[in-house]
Amino acid sequence: MILAESPRRQRVTKLVNWGHWFALVNIAIAIVIASVFVFSSPLPDTALGTAYLIANWLGHISFMTFSGFVILVLPLCYLVNRPNVIKASASGIAAIGLALLAFDALLYNRTGFHISINSATLLKSEAQTQMSQFTVQDWGFLALLFLVWLGFQLILANAIWKRIARLQQYHIGRPVTGLFVICFVSSHAIHVWADAQLYQPIIKQDNMFPLSYPATAKTTMSRYGLLDLARYEERKQLQFDPNIHKVTYPVKPVYCSIKENINTLLIVQTDSAPLPAFEQFNLTTMDEYYSTASTLQGLIVTTLFGVPEIYRDTVSSESPVLLALPVAMQTAVSIHTDATLPGTTLESFRQPISNSHDGLHVAFLPADQIVQMLGRESFAKSNILIASGFDPEGGISKGKLLTNLDIQQGLASTEDLAPTVLNALGCTAPVPHYSTGQNLLAPTRNWLVSTSGERIVVMHNNQRIEVLSNGSYEITDLTTQSRSTDNLNVDLLSRAIKHLTRFSTRQ
């Protein structure tokens, strides 16, 4: 007797086959959408990092999409008897899922965050800001856009259903599935090794894709006694910044002229002792000045290069534009300090404070030596800029800026010193080419961004925003120093982060 499949079993088999093809096409669409994550992130500069990126991209996105199919669509193939209902439901699920993926990609491109509990407040703030600007026409356009996307999914579902027999003849299911499985498994295996070695071209990709939790050496290798946890944690703590390793400084060539016969003094106080008013120089005071470096070495680099302390290790071997440009124009330049200067290039500029040549003087001195230096008649008609507030204990601290230059009142930080001095010397080259600060003689923005440890710090409108790499943040009122419950200004944060990382080659 010949046993034939029952009509229900045939229908279920056809639905399951259809579901696999429908999932495969949507995996391809999801991979294309996920390319936004790839191109919004720093591309690896090593072959292994690139191989991991491709494997993780294909493996994780295919796994995430297929998991959605298995959890939400596949059970319908067995429980629902009407194919049209299943196709419509699957189309709706796919349309919503891919729309969420696209939204997450745009959010990541804009802020570096994914949809998560940590970013819930950020999303609420962003949504309220954007929705308040929406008109009825805008809402109608969005609804129409989603209906078009849903219609595409319905057309796709029906097209696959009508051609399922022909598609089955291609026999590409196993090779494609094998490719995705190999990518998924190999990406996790590579990440275990990279985590054990703290291999940054791979580790820095951890937050690239949504719902990504790659296997780590700590949880995998230590289980079998293959990793010394104490040594691992010690090495991990030594990793200062996993995102910025190489920079282009300056980002573009700086061409400008320097005025001759101008004596200019840039003095940065290195202790907290009070300074006299220096009435003989007729100095004005800027009270909203913030010292951003946490160490004396960081203070020197931040002042000379006009970039945050996070770039210290990578720019120390370069010659800062603040010094190199005057030297190229045959202007004498000296650095006065008893501190160790980072890099041999800067050491060549060291001079005692008794040196009073015409030109540019940059000093990093305690209060008593500043008084001694400015007590000399040779500096009586000099341009002077004195910055205080450095806190050797770390963190961003408030100080004062004393100067006889015509600076504009507002927010200022250590990064602003170099472009202000260069402009006072006559250089009109665009500041963004060589600094994250701004020229205080003609400021162009009313906010500042810097770093403190592994935190990004943004100041604006009497508020300090501190953001950690995991997306959590804290807003502090600068007047009361108490935590603020105000909503996060996402647009400002996005501009600030992009401004801060402009010198990084990962851009």
Where does 225-346 show beta strands of DSSP type E? 264-269, 284-291, 333-337
Tell me whether residue 252 is in a domain.
Answer: no
CA distance 321 to 344: 16
Question: Do 407 and 442 belong together in one domain?
Answer: yes
Whether residues 61 and 150 fall in one domain = yes
Confirm whether 242 is domain-assigned: no
**How many other C-beta atoms can be found within 10 angstroms of the C-beta atom of residue 390?**
24
- Residue 145 contacts by C-beta under 8 Å, 6 or more apart in sequence? none
Are residues 67 and 135 part of one domain?
A: yes
**107-111: long-range contacts at Cβ-Cβ below 8 A with a sequence spacing of 24 or more?**
108/36, 108/37, 108/40, 108/210, 109/36, 109/40, 110/490, 110/494, 111/490, 111/493, 111/494, 111/497
Instruction: Answer yes or no: is 221 within a domain.
Output: yes
Which residues in the chain come in under a pLDDT of 50? 1-3, 221, 223-226, 234, 237-243, 245, 506-507
Task: Determine whether 113 is exposed, middle or buried from the number of CB atoms within 10 Å of its CB (0-12, 13-18, 19+).
Answer: buried
pTM value surpassing 0.75? no
Domain check: are 268 and 215 in the same one?
Answer: no
Are 270 and 229 part of one and the same domain?
Answer: no
- Residue 431, domain member (yes or no): yes
Query: Which structural domain, as residue segments, surrounds residue 153?
Result: 7-237
| Mean per-residue pLDDT over the chain, rounded | 83
Q: How many domains does the structure of the chain reveal?
A: 2
Considering the domain boundaries, does residue 1 fall inside one?
no
Give the C-alpha separation, 176 to 163, whole Å: 19
The model's pLDDT over 242-295, given as tens digits with 9 standing for 90+, comes to 445 467 888 888 888 888 777 899 999 999 899 988 888 889 999 999 998 888
Whether 398 maps to a domain, the answer reads yes
Are residues 305 and 158 part of one domain? no
User: Which CATH number goes with the domain that contains 442?
Assistant: 3.40.720.10
- Do both 51 and 121 map to the same domain? yes
67 vs 223: CA distance, rounded Å: 27
- Answer yes or no: is 281 within a domain: yes
pLDDT at position 133 is: 63
pLDDT at position 342 is 86
153 & 302 share domain:
no
CA distance 450 to 464: 11
Supply φ then ψ for residue 356, to 5 degrees: -125, 40
pLDDT 10s digits, 385-403:
999 999 877 778 899 999 9
pLDDT for the residue 368: 92
Q: Are residues 308 and 414 in the same domain?
A: yes
Question: Are 175 and 280 members of one domain?
Answer: no
